[in-house]
């Protein structure tokens, strides 16, 4: 505001052009002498003032982008051939190609992404999708725009929620303007964890002008956090000159500048930034969330220790308790606190003895408390499992199944696996916390081909010439042993070795036959058409939410066959080491 009083409109426009083309707003902290502009620069800038003053944009960064388009004349032919590549991994790292998407049909990709988005992908599927989406490669251009493809990347990375991976991708490629929603997701999540420092570090690593209005406001706030008030004030004044208007935001910023001593106590839930500013500018801040309160704000309240103590709530205040249950489902309240609260409810001996029927006549919250208390009093495995199943079901019916997640596993882990009745085996296996097979050690069984020491080849611990010699020796034994039956996993093992150039003697070729119909026709067509990216997405879709070691052998066969033909050995080998050897 003070600066605007000193500058006339012409000088302000010149300063705008100069600043936006000369400084990185947050990456460097170097003073700029805005008055010492060479005459030649002033003349060039003046020629553009008339056209720039006609632009009505809320973002000073958008204006800078328009200025570049007007002032720089690019060769149209070269510009049309410009190909952008953004990723984290070198294609050769995983045996992929920079052209992995070039032959892909956008219609197929759109269909595949739609199907994949319906799954909560397993770790195996997620890793393959990350590699596919973040390998440096040309964008597909058949029936799909670059922005659509980038949106697919953003949507997946947001769903996967790997903050470290998102940050590396955005910063390494300097592409926050291509991915404004992804960038906002990242900085908002950090802020919801009350980690202002981490949110602002993102902007300090950006070397390009920020075009998105919300991100530019966030960046301006970060400048104030860094003590760079003059720079922040100048940017705010320039934004206002270009039409920016946000009274709520500006009042909070002016308070932080020190221009006003008190702000309106209004609390906005429009964004996590607005909510945070209300908290920061009000020393007596108080807020009571409800079921409609956005998840990010719940998370912010939780991490900022602003939530009320659940033990202070009356057991008759079902609305507040229900809100707490929903917050626990969203992982903003701890299960331990919720279930400790359930112990405060009082029930008759008759209700506890007849819990399986009594809970149905109670208010849902009381019913859950009754079943939980009865669980604590139960030692008999069968009854315990029945009650655990009932409690899980009534949580699920209310749409808050995740509120009984860790506690569910704790109860199940108290039961010996040998005591699980057959009708509860599936429920037990689906919910108990098992060790991941990948973390177990390999146990060799040299009587079975795919469990023999030859699997070390996929670890890189077996010379190619040596594995070829030992494989043929093993096949010789198999041919002599009429009782040995080559399993599907044996065939998967042999085919993987053959795809790597391991040769087997012709006299062993008749030991098994391959049914070509086992390979899905659409996947084979993708491979034949060199639609590498699409074929990998198809593999991701097939694996879906399953662990690779839990998938049937026939499906594993064509997954590995696909990876063999694509020559993506690192991905293939990792999967093979999960499905072939014994683990102990």
The pTM (predicted TM-score) of the whole model is: 0.77
Element (H, E) at 28: none
Quick check: 192 and 299 in contact, CB under 8 A? yes
How much is the pLDDT for 439?
53
Element (H, E) at 583: strand 582-583
Distance of CA 311 to the CA centre of its chain: 34
Residues 273 and 157: their CA atoms lie apart, in Å, by 22
How much is the pLDDT for 77?
33
Q: Going along 94-150, which residue ranges are E strands?
A: none
At which residue do the structure tokens 């390009």 appear?
208
Quick check: 475 and 504 in contact, CB under 8 A? yes
In 3-state terms the chain splits into helix, strand, coil percentages (rounded to 5) of 65, 0, 35
How much is the pLDDT for 358?
95
Q: What is the pLDDT of residues 271-280, one digit of tens each?
A: 999 999 999 9
- Tell me the domain boundaries of the chain: 310-431, 442-583
- SS3 category, 16: helix
- Contacts of residues 66-74 at CB distance under 8 Å and 24 or more positions apart, as own/partner, are 67/17, 67/20, 67/21, 68/21
> Other C-beta atoms within 10 Å of 337: how many?
14
At which residue do the structure tokens 């949580």 appear?
395
Cα 45–46–47 angle (5° rounding)? 90
Q: Shortest CA distance to 175 belongs to which of 190, 200, 153, 197?
A: 153
What are the Cα distances from residue 237, in Å, to 18, 220, 229, 337?
Answer: 15, 11, 12, 48
Q: What is the DSSP letter of 447?
A: T
How much is the pLDDT for 27?
38
Instruction: Please list the pLDDT of the chain residue by residue as tens digits (584 residues).
Output: 434 333 444 344 444 433 443 333 333 443 333 233 333 343 434 343 333 333 333 343 444 444 333 333 333 333 333 446 778 999 999 999 999 999 999 999 999 999 999 999 999 999 999 999 999 999 998 999 999 999 999 999 999 999 999 999 999 999 999 999 999 999 999 999 999 999 999 999 998 889 999 999 999 999 999 999 999 999 899 999 989 999 999 999 999 999 999 999 999 999 999 999 999 999 999 999 988 899 999 999 999 999 888 888 999 999 999 999 999 999 888 899 999 999 999 999 999 999 999 999 999 999 999 999 999 999 999 999 999 999 999 999 999 999 999 999 999 998 988 888 888 888 888 887 554 444 567 778 889 999 889 999 998 878 888 999 999 999 999 988 888 989 999 999 999 999 999 998 888 888 888 877 778 999 999 999 999 999 999 999 999 999 999 999 999 999 999 999 999 999 999 999 999 987 65
């Amino acid at each position: 505001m003070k600066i605007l009083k000193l500058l006339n409109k012409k000088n302000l426009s010149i300063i705008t052009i100069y600043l936006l083309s000369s400084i990185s707003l947050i990456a460097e902290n170097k003073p700029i002498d805005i008055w010492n502009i060479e005459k030649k620069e002033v003349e060039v800038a003046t020629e553009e003032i008339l056209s720039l003053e006609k632009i009505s944009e809320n973002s000073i960064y958008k204006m800078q982008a328009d200025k570049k388009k007007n002032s720089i004349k690019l060769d149209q032919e070269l510009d049309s051939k410009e190909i952008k590549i953004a990723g984290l991994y070198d294609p050769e790292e995983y045996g992929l190609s920079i052209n992995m998407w070039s032959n892909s049909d956008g219609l197929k990709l759109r269909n595949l992404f739609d199907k994949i988005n319906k799954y909560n992908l397993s770790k195996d599927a997620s890793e393959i999708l990350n590699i596919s989406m973040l390998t440096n490669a040309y964008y597909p251009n058949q029936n799909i725009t670059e922005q659509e493809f980038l949106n697919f990347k953003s949507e997946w990375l947001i769903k996967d929620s790997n903050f470290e991976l998102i940050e590396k991708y955005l910063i390494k490629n300097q592409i926050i303007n291509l991915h404004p929603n992804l960038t906002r997701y990242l900085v908002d999540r950090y802020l919801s964890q009350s980690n202002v420092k981490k949110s602002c570090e993102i902007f300090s690593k950006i070397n390009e002008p920020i075009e998105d209005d919300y991100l530019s406001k966030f960046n301006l706030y970060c400048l104030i956090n860094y003590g760079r008030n003059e720079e922040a004030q100048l940017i705010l004044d320039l934004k206002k000159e270009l039409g920016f208007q946000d009274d709520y935001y500006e009042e909070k910023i002016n308070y932080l500048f020190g221009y006003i001593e008190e702000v309106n106590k209004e609390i906005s839930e429009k964004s996590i930034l607005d909510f945070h500013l209300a908290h920061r500018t009000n020393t007596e801040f108080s807020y009571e969330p409800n079921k409609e309160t956005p998840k990010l704000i719940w998370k912010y309240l939780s991490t900022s220790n602003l939530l009320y103590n659940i033990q202070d709530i009356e057991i008759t205040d079902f609305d507040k308790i229900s809100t707490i249950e929903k917050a626990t489902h969203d992982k903003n309240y701890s299960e331990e606190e919720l279930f400790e609260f359930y112990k405060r409810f009082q029930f008759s001996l008759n209700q506890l003895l007849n819990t399986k029927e009594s809970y149905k006549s109670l208010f849902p919250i009381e019913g859950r408390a009754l079943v939980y208390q009865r669980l604590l009093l139960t030692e008999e495995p069968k009854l315990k499992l029945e009650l655990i199943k009932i409690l899980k079901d009534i949580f699920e019916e209310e749409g808050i199944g995740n509120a009984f997640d860790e506690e569910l596993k704790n109860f199940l882990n108290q039961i010996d696996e040998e005591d699980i009745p057959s009708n509860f085996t599936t429920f037990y296996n689906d919910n108990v916390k098992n060790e991941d097979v990948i973390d177990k050690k390999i146990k060799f069984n040299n009587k079975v081909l795919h469990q023999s020491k030859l699997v070390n080849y996929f670890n890189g611990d077996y010379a190619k010439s040596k594995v070829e010699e030992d494989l043929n020796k093993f096949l010789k034994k198999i041919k002599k042993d009429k009782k040995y039956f080559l399993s599907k996993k044996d065939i998967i093992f042999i085919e993987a070795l053959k795809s790597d150039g391991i040769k087997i003697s012709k006299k062993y070729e008749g030991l098994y036959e391959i049914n070509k119909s086992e390979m899905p026709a659409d996947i084979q067509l993708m491979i034949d058409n060199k639609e590498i990216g699409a074929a990998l997405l198809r593999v991701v879709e097939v694996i879906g939410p399953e662990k690779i070691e839990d998938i049937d052998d026939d499906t594993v066969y064509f997954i590995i066959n696909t990876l063999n033909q694509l020559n993506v050995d690192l991905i293939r080998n990792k999967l093979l080491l999960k499905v072939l050897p014994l683990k102990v």
